[in-house]
């Protein structure tokens, strides 16, 4: 940190969440893990750029490393009668902020803060309160403070309607109510980071909210190998409550099982971990599940992506848009046929995908997904969008079975699943050290998030790069359904 008492709006917000973050930024930045995804940042930039046009024509204060230059340019634009200034810069007493849009309002100004999320949160109010404090300290007449965020109910039809895409929420009163506390917060953050000795600060819910802290690994380094935070499905709030009551290790949890009303599933997770128990298999329940399937079985998996700003008609911000599927068709004798679909980059993939899907999956057959609620939601939405295909699509929807069921119900339980029934835990537990099923061995795309961003960004690549990305996507999604085939085989072996 160049000067640890300097504060920007983002650092102020980090300091509000937990001042130790700023202390670690200054003294031990190497301890931070990378937690903010590139997709989240790219979405923020895209939305921010678009929102600048919300009030009409604007002038942009270009970023430079010279803050004084940006501040001077802002002043010049204000004095010249500019109506809207994007990235308007202000600096006072080591406090710096760039306002997303400074909008002229009579003889004063509106602060407009743009967010790519779909709703207002408390930390946004803190963020705007800091900006309000800096601008009023600079002698600016602030009339209103507005939060401009995405309206998830917007559906694109034709030209993009910025006033439909964004919701402008007037937060002036909430911000003013906070304004008295800003000076005190700044003073306390500055004092906190000025001490060279590392502050003792225990972990708590603020390590998760409003943003996951990058220093969780460092601040939680005292936790035992198996702690309350590893219990599958236990809410963070509950974990921290028990942690602060001294219930930290798995042994502590068992010793206090009655007090914390430990469920049978969590007890099983703990005991199988502590006592290294062998796999527990309920053959009757697995048989019951297998008896619901009819061959050939169509193993299906979709990949989807989201657009904060919808590019195609009939799409809402952040709607899941399917662009790819893999289908392994398994006969009763175990033989396999593989089919797949991957949309052309830069096009609306839905119609072509839906048409191909109903050709690849005949009516009345048994389809299988892992955690089928996701696949069913995608299919149902496609059926709503394309009424002429609805009958065939809903047939697939209605004949779908969920391969997750035996694991969710713990009919097949392995210690290595760590209490989870997600495929990420189930697959390596059933096939440990199998390179054929190891997603780490894939090139470029290793998980759903990477698949989404690879497809979303594809048009920005050269034809050679696109060919390679498409190959990576096909291999990734193909492995998803092949993994399902292998999981089903393991279930069958378990009951033989
Ligand atoms: S992990 Fe928690 S205690 Fe440590 S810096 Fe982050 S928020 Fe603060």
Q: DSSP secondary structure string, 474-489?
A: HHHHHHHHHHHHHHHH
pLDDT at 487 > cutoff 60: yes
338-374 per-position pLDDT tens digit: 999 999 999 999 999 999 999 999 999 999 999 999 9
Please state which of the ranges 5-9, 363-367, 408-412 shows the lowest mean pLDDT. 5-9
- Whether the CB of 156 sits within 6 Å of ligand 1: no
Helices and strands in the chain, H and E counts: 19, 14
Query: Candidates 17, 210, 219, 244: which one to mutate for ligand 1, based on the most atoms within 8 Å of Cβ?
Result: 219
Long-range contacts of 362-367 (CB under 8 A, 24+ apart): 363/392, 363/395, 364/395, 364/399, 365/294, 365/296, 365/298, 365/399, 366/293, 366/294, 366/295, 366/296, 366/297, 366/298, 366/399, 366/401, 367/297, 367/298, 367/299, 367/300, 367/396, 367/399, 367/400, 367/401
Q: Is the pLDDT of residue 11 over 80?
A: yes
Same domain, residue pair 55 and 135:
yes
pLDDT for res 4? 59
Range of the domain at 416: 285-495
454 shares a domain with 324: yes
Domain count, the chain: 3
- Residue 27: CB within 6 Å of ligand 1? no
**pLDDT for res 35:** 63
State whether 293 and 423 are in the same domain.
yes
In a shared domain, residues 148 and 249: no
User: Does ligand 1 have an atom closer than 6 angstroms to the CB of 75?
Assistant: no
100 and 158 co-located in one domain: yes
The Cβ-side half-sphere exposure at 244, using a 13 Å CA radius, reads 10
Q: Is residue 244 scored above 90 in pLDDT?
A: yes
**242 in Cβ contact with 228 (< 8 Å):** yes
Domain boundary at 243, 277, 311, which?
A: 277
Q: Is the pLDDT of residue 55 over 80?
A: yes
255 shares a domain with 182: no
Strand, coil or helix: what is 39?
helix
Q: Is 109 in contact with 102 (CB distance < 8 Å)?
A: yes
Query: Closest residue (by CA) to atom 4 of ligand 1?
Result: 219
The tally of CA atoms less than 13 A away on the side-chain side of residue 62 is 1
State yes or no: pLDDT of 231 exceeds 60: yes
Last residue of a domain, one of 245, 277, 309: 277
The 10s digit of each residue's pLDDT in 257-284 is 999 999 999 999 999 999 999 999 999 9
390-419 mean pLDDT: 96
Spell out the residues 6+ positions from residue 126 whose beta carbon is closer than 8 angstroms to its own.
12, 13, 16, 178
Q: Are residues 232 and 129 in the same domain?
A: no
365/247 same-domain check: no
Unique residue bearing structure tokens 């604007």: 58
- Residue 441: per-residue pLDDT: 92
| Same domain membership, residue 313 and residue 172 | no
Residues 326, 390 within the same domain: yes
Residue 53: Cβ within 10 Å count? 14
In a domain, residue 213? The reply is no
Whether residue 224 contacts residue 248, with contact meaning beta carbons closer than 8 Å, is answered with yes
Q: What is the pTM of this model?
A: 0.88
Distance separating alpha carbons of residues 298 and 330, to the nearest angstrom: 6
Average pLDDT rounded to a whole number, residues 74-78: 98
For residue 34, the Cα-to-chain-centroid distance in whole angstroms is 14
Q: What is the pLDDT, as a whole number, of residue 85? A: 98
Q: Does any ligand 1 atom lie closer than 6 A to the CB of residue 20?
A: yes
């Amino acid at each position: 940190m160049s000067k640890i008492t300097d504060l920007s709006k983002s650092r102020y917000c980090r300091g509000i969440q937990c001042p130790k973050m700023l202390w670690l930024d200054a003294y031990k930045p190497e301890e931070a893990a990378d937690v903010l995804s590139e997709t989240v940042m790219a979405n923020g930039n895209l939305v921010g750029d678009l929102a600048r046009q919300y009030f009409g024509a604007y002038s942009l204060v270009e970023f430079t490393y010279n803050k004084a230059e940006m501040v001077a340019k802002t002043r010049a634009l204000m004095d010249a009668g500019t109506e809207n200034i994007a990235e308007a810069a202000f600096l006072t007493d080591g406090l710096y902020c760039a306002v997303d849009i400074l909008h002229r309002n009579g003889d004063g100004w509106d602060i407009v803060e743009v967010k790519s999320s779909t709703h207002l949160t408390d930390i946004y109010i803190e963020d705007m309160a800091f900006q309000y404090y800096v601008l009023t300290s600079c002698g600016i007449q602030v009339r209103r403070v507005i939060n401009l965020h995405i309206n998830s109910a917007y559906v694109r039809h034709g030209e993009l309607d910025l006033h439909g895409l964004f919701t402008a929420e007037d937060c002036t009163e909430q911000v003013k109510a906070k304004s008295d506390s800003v000076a005190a917060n700044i003073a306390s953050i500055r004092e906190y980071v000025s001490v060279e000795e590392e502050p003792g600060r225990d972990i708590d819910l603020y390590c998760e909210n409003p943003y996951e802290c990058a220093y969780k690994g460092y601040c939680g380094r005292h936790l035992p190998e198996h702690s309350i935070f590893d219990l599958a499905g236990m809410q963070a709030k509950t974990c921290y409550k028990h942690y602060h009551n001294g219930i930290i290790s798995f042994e502590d949890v068992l010793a206090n099982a009655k007090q914390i009303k430990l469920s049978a599933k969590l007890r099983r997770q703990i005991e199988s971990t502590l006592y290294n128990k062998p796999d527990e298999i309920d053959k009757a329940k697995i048989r019951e599940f297998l008896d619901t399937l009819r061959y050939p079985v169509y193993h299906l998996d979709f990949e989807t992506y989201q657009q904060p700003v919808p590019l195609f008609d009939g799409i809402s911000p952040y709607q899941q848009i399917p662009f790819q599927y893999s289908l392994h068709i398994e006969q009763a004798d175990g033989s396999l046929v593989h089919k797949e679909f991957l949309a052309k980059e830069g096009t609306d993939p839905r119609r072509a995908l839906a048409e191909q899907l109903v050709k690849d999956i005949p009516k009345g057959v048994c389809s299988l997904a892992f955690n089928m609620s996701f696949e069913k939601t995608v299919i149902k939405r496609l059926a709503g969008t394309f009424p002429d295909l609805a009958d065939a699509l809903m047939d697939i929807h209605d004949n779908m079975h969920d391969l997750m069921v035996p694991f969710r119900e713990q009919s097949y339980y392995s210690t290595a699943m760590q209490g989870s029934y997600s495929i990420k835990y189930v697959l390596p537990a059933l096939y440990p050290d199998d390179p054929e099923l190891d997603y780490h061995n894939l090139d470029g795309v290793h998980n759903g998030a990477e698949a989404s961003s690879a497809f979303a960004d594809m048009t920005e690549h050269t034809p050679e790069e696109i060919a390679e990305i498409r190959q990576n996507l096909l291999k990734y999604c193909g492995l998803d359904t092949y993994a399902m085939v292998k999981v089903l085989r393991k279930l069958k072996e378990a009951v033989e």
